[in-house]
Amino acid sequence: MAVGRGGTKLKDIADLVGCSLATVSNAINGRGRMSEDMRREILAKCAELNFVPNSAGRSLRLQRADAVGVIYAPSFAELFGNIFYARIMEGLSETFGEAGLDLILGNRKDSDGLPSIVRQGKVDALVVLAGVFEADAYESLRNCPVPVCMVDGHVGALEADAVTSDGFGGGRLVAEYLVREGHQNVRMVAYKNPLYNIEQRIAGFLSGLRASGVEAREDDVVIRISDNAEAGERVLDSLESGEAPTAVFAVNDTLAEYLATELQKRGKNVPGDVSLVGFDDDPIARRCEPALTTVGMDKRVFGSISAGLVLERLAKPEKPLVHHVQPTRMVIRDSVSNLGG
Amino acid sequence: MAVGRGGTKLKDIADLVGCSLATVSNAINGRGRMSEDMRREILAKCAELNFVPNSAGRSLRLQRADAVGVIYAPSFAELFGNIFYARIMEGLSETFGEAGLDLILGNRKDSDGLPSIVRQGKVDALVVLAGVFEADAYESLRNCPVPVCMVDGHVGALEADAVTSDGFGGGRLVAEYLVREGHQNVRMVAYKNPLYNIEQRIAGFLSGLRASGVEAREDDVVIRISDNAEAGERVLDSLESGEAPTAVFAVNDTLAEYLATELQKRGKNVPGDVSLVGFDDDPIARRCEPALTTVGMDKRVFGSISAGLVLERLAKPEKPLVHHVQPTRMVIRDSVSNLGG
DNA sequence: CTGAAAGCGCTTACAG
DNA sequence: CTGAAAGCGCTTACAG
């Protein structure tokens, strides 16, 4: 089965054309000087037999795999059921494909947590989809012998190129927008789990409030939760209190959608009684009732940008680390009321 | 960078332990007879240095890649944004991972349409996610030199192991259920595009109707459409006609959900005016208003079953082709009314 | 302008 | 019980 059994090889082409196998290799790789006729004849024969040099032989000699690993956590279904990551994968697949690199899914791990494909030499680099990575996941990548590009992760956790969305800028945009619409007493709801992109959004939101002249103490503004159920209770509690907020910023659209449903169940009108903003511009935001005002970004390009970073790194291993920050923008729909003001 | 540069190799372990590299290889692969002490010492040293044999060297010698390619169409995002396929991928990844095989995404194609990874010798087999394959996609796989396992595709289009869901059985179940609930005048809505699993569902539905004593001419029952918009019109038309059906079976949940929305827009009540059944038990079925009665199957196992089939095929290349049919079941929710009867 | 040879890292008959 | 040697398919300095 498999690999070479009966498959065409360099030697076969050489015999057919009547030259040495070195010349065939040179023709294919566009090096060496030979007569135009010879080169054409060799290439024609290769095309005719659909010959492609065997990857194992090539890899062994060249000390490179022509493949990139993709690492993710926690589970494949969780990851790829998410259209955001599906889009990233598509971008990776396209850009690497054009460069002649294949994508390997690196789910197996060595005893020290490094993906097996790395020490097996199956990949030249790793793209790490780190959106929900815990600290120890980064730890195991620390001594990775191939370059790593981190997507949507905790910048600084690793010496690696990185691509993130501008959570800070997005948080700021939300604050500025809410204040402009007359909201001064606001809350942000975020998970306790200190993920990089969540912290960025919080920091940006607080910064935006302050820049808009609203005094914002983190402890007063940010409601830290462990799960959605807690979010529902805490927000409802705050609405019953003397200091009821007029707007709530949920750290992502899924949470915002949950809150909308929960609030409406308890007879609260959105945005009549309280305005709601999400983050991500997830497809769910559009389907929400009312349609959710949120923060969007061009997710399509995440994959191609990370792939580009990897390609550059492979070409120039010593170049300085790059951190690409993808801009975010307000996506205004129907979940925020204008308080006049 | 990459592969072996500075990486540990067999020779390094041999030098450290003080034996030949053949002995190290034997120890790792559990063959050859050697003293227990020697084997233990070698294995300990490998573990200490996290040594894994280089894949290119191994592949070249063994003529096998220890990897399986995954082929899909049309686009990655379309495929993996679908939780069904994400689940399949998860099952593949798990089962192959346990067997020491990695998964390669085979998006690049040779001039004759065969995935490049095949002739490059990067994979020992191909899993083909064929849910929306057109005929020419099968064509290019016809002369594939490695074994193929087709998932959710047109059985018979390829000499290959296959895994499908029991669309025929599911279609029958729907027919029997509808008749039991008193529906005799029914329609099925399906795309013109003659995909295997769609044809199966139609055939099963017609067979189920007949088995339940309902005379069913295909031309009367089946509404063939090119797109959703056409489906909406044709179904509404039929409801206005003298022979208005009491129930409509949509070939999948997405179409059913579209029809529900469309019917309700035109003032039709579901299931009051017309009952509706979908197929797939897509997450959307649960969210539908009313919740959609549909046909479900255990999709989780699709991946592990296909992976298992590949593993068996690799172990026994000449064994007869296997076609695994995954059973389907009725998932009864709120979109079908009981007509008494 | 073209070819013979070395060597990438590995496994496996085979010799001792 | 252990090791030396051949060879998987490829590319590249080097010799002619």
**Span A142-184, pLDDT tens digits:** 989 999 999 988 888 899 999 999 999 999 999 999 999 999 9
**CA distance to partner chain A, nearest, from residue B116 (Å):** 8
Looking at residue B341, its pLDDT comes to 56
Residue A269 scores a pLDDT above 70 = yes
Q: Work out the angle at residue A106's Cα, subtended by the Cα atoms of residues A103 and A109, and round it to the nearest 5 degrees.
A: 160
* Angstrom distance (rounded) from CA B195 to CA B217: 21
What mean pLDDT, rounded, does chain A reach? 91
pLDDT band at A235 (very low <50, low <70, confident <90, very high): very high
A150-164, A263-277, B3-17: which range is least confident on average?
B3-17
Smallest CA–CA distance, residue A319 to chain B, in Å, is 13
CA–CA dist B161, A90 (Å, integer) = 27
Contact A81 B79 (CB under 8 A): no
CA angle B129, B131, B134 (to 5 degrees): 100
CA of B22 to C1' of C16 (A): 15
Q: What confidence score (pLDDT) does residue A32 get?
A: 72
In sequence order, which residues have a C-beta less than 8 Å from that of residue A122 and are 6 or more positions away?
A: A65, A67, A69, A104, B55, B67, B102
Asked whether the beta carbons of residue B83 and residue A87 sit closer than 8 angstroms, the reply is no
Q: What count of other Cβ atoms lies within 10 Å of the Cβ of residue A319? A: 10
Sequence length of chain B is 341
Integer Cα distance of B188 and B202 in angstroms: 8
* CA-wise closest residue to B274 among B173, B186, B154: B186
Q: What is the pLDDT of residue A162?
A: 95
Q: Is the pLDDT of residue B134 over 60?
A: yes
pLDDT confidence band for B3 (50 / 70 / 90): very low
- pLDDT category, A341, cuts 50, 70, 90? low
Q: What is the mean pLDDT of residues B218-236?
A: 94
Q: Which two tokens stand for residue A234?
A: 């805490």
3-state SS, residue A5:
coil
Which chain B residue shows the shortest CA-CA distance from A6?
B145
pLDDT value, residue B131:
80
If one compares A30 and B173, the residue with the highest pLDDT of the two is B173
d(CA B341, CA B325): 34
Asked if A60 lies within 8 A of B56 by C-beta distance, the reply is: yes
Q: Give the strands of the sheet with B275-277, arranged side by side.
A: B222-225, B186-191, B247-250, B275-277
The model's confidence at residue A3, banded by pLDDT at 50, 70 and 90, is very low
Residue B243 has pLDDT above 80, yes or no: yes
Span B102-116, pLDDT tens digits? 999 988 888 888 999
Residue of A nearest to B303 (CA): A77
A76-102 average pLDDT score: 86
pLDDT, residue B4, reads 38
Candidates B66, B122, B68; CA nearest to B303 is B68
**Looking at the predicted structure, is the pLDDT value of residue B320 above 50?**
yes
Question: What is the model's pLDDT at position A1?
Answer: 34
How many angstroms separate the CA atoms of A325 and A161, rounded? 11
- Distance, Å, A5 CA → D7 C1': 14
pLDDT at B77 over 80: no
Write out pLDDT tens, residues B185-226: 999 999 998 788 899 999 999 999 999 999 999 999 999 999
DSSP calls for A98-152: HTT-EEEE---B-TTSSBHHHHTT--SEEEEE-TT--HHHHHTTTT-SS-EEEES
At B177, is the pLDDT very low, low, confident or very high (cuts 50, 70, 90)? very high
Biggest CA-to-CA distance, chain B = 91
* Partner residue opposite A76 with nearest CB, options B7, B77, B90: B90
What is the radius of gyration, based on Cα positions, of chain A? 26
State residue A99's pLDDT score. 95
Is the pLDDT score of A2 beyond 60? no
Average pLDDT over residues A230-255: 94
Domains located in chain A, CATH noted? 10-62 (1.10.260.40), 67-164+300-326 (3.40.50.2300), 167-296 (3.40.50.2300)
Cβ contacts (< 8 Å) between B57 and chain A: which residues? 56, 60
Extract the tokens encoding B182: 């008193």
Q: What is the CA radius of gyration of chain B?
A: 26
Q: Per-residue confidence at A5, pLDDT binned at 50, 70, 90?
A: very low
Q: Residue A54 — pLDDT band, cuts 50, 70, 90? A: very high
The SS3 call for residue B169 is helix
Query: How many Cβ atoms sit within 10 Å of the Cβ of residue A198?
Result: 18
pLDDT value at position B6?
A: 57
Which residue, B234, B236, B172, is CA-closest to B208? B172
- Euclidean distance between CA atoms B331 and A313, whole angstroms: 51
Burial class (CB in 10 A: 0-12, 13-18, 19+), B120: buried
| pLDDT of A167 | 95
DSSP B100: T
Two tokens at A307? 């792939």
Q: Which bases of chain D come closer than 7 Å to a protein CB?
A: 1-5, 7-14
Distance CA B94, CA B302 (A): 12
Q: Name chain A contacts of B94, Cβ cutoff 8 Å.
A: 107
DSSP states along B235-276: HHHHHHSTT--SEEEESSHHHHHHHHHHHHHTT--TTTT-EE
Token digits of residue B86: 């994400």
Residue A319 — pLDDT band, cuts 50, 70, 90?
very high
Residues A238-257 have a mean pLDDT of 94
Q: At B340, is the pLDDT very low, low, confident or very high (cuts 50, 70, 90)? A: confident
Nearest CA to CA, how far is A241 from chain B (Å)?
Answer: 33
pLDDT of residue A6: 57
pLDDT in tens, A26-39: 999 988 778 888 89
How far apart are alpha carbons B307 and B297 in whole angstroms?
18
Which residues of B fall within a CB distance of 8 Å from A86?
Answer: 76-77, 79-81, 86
Q: What share of chain A in percent tops pLDDT 70? A: 97
Which residue of chain A is at minimal alpha-carbon distance from B300? Answer: A77
Taking 80 as the threshold, does the pLDDT of residue A82 lie above it? Answer: no
Q: Average pLDDT, stretch A132-150? A: 89
Could you identify the residue written with the tokens 């076609």? B323
Q: What pLDDT was estimated at residue B274? A: 96
Helix axes B196-211, B167-180, angle to 10 degrees: 40
Closest by Cα among B168, B208, B171, B178 to B332 = B178
- Among A57, A104, A114, whose Cβ lies nearest the Cβ of B102? A104
The answer to whether A163 touches A324, Cβ cutoff 8 Å, is yes
Distance A46 CA to D4 C1' (A): 38
